[in-house]
């Protein structure tokens, strides 16, 4: 993992704000949600339905899902999700979004979490 990828917004990555993600959840139109925070961070509270794939485990996502699978990546601030997106795009994934501002933005907006 290149540390500079933490600060690079890859071409093709769609930014979603908390309201957009929540709307997708309510409409049951949600792509897969992958939380790339550490297991401890994930256990402290996450979006319902999210699966935990800590940063560096992108290979697990790549081998388990097709490249056209819709995915939303989540981390604490939005930086690790960008780094994970770079790896998914390199592997041929085409429909990758992330929660801009990460869980910090989600919590700041008072959105629901589970696992607390």
Backbone angles phi, psi at 81, to 5 degrees: -65, -35
pLDDT at residue number 111:
97
Mean pLDDT for 90-96 is 95
Question: What pLDDT, on the 0 to 100 scale, is given for residue 74?
Answer: 98
Let me know how long the chain is.
Answer: 116
Q: What are the residue ranges spanned by the domains of the chain? A: 3-108
Q: Report the half-sphere exposure of 12 (CA within 13 A, side-chain side).
A: 14
Say what the pLDDT of residue 29 is: 66
* DSSP three-state, residue 90: helix
Global model pTM greater than 0.85: yes
Question: What burial class does residue 20 get, using C-beta atoms within 10 Å of its C-beta: 0-12 exposed, 13-18 middle, 19+ buried?
Answer: middle
Q: What is the pLDDT of residue 26?
A: 84
Residues 3-108: name the CATH superfamily.
Answer: Rhodanese-like domain (3.40.250.10)
E-state strands within the chain = 14-16, 32-35, 51-52, 71-74, 96-99
Q: Average pLDDT of 12-20?
A: 96
Question: Which position has the higher pLDDT, 10 or 56?
Answer: 56
**What is the pLDDT confidence band of residue 25, given thresholds at 50, 70 and 90?**
confident
Cβ neighbour number for residue 113 with a 10 Å cutoff: 14
Does residue 38 register a pLDDT over 90?
yes
pLDDT of residue 28: 73
């Amino acid at each position: 993992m290149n540390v500079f990828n933490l600060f690079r917004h890859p071409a093709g990555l769609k930014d979603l704000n908390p309201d957009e993600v929540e709307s997708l959840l309510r409409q049951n139109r949600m792509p897969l949600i992958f939380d790339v925070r550490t297991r401890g961070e994930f256990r402290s509270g996450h979006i319902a339905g999210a699966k935990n794939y800590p940063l560096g485990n992108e290979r697990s996502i790549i081998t388990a899902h097709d490249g056209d699978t819709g995915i939303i990546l989540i981390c604490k601030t939005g930086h690790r999700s960008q780094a994970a997106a770079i790896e998914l795009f390199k592997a041929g994934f085409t429909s990758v979004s992330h929660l801009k501002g990460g869980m910090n933005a989600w919590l700041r907006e008072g959105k629901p979490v589970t696992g607390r």
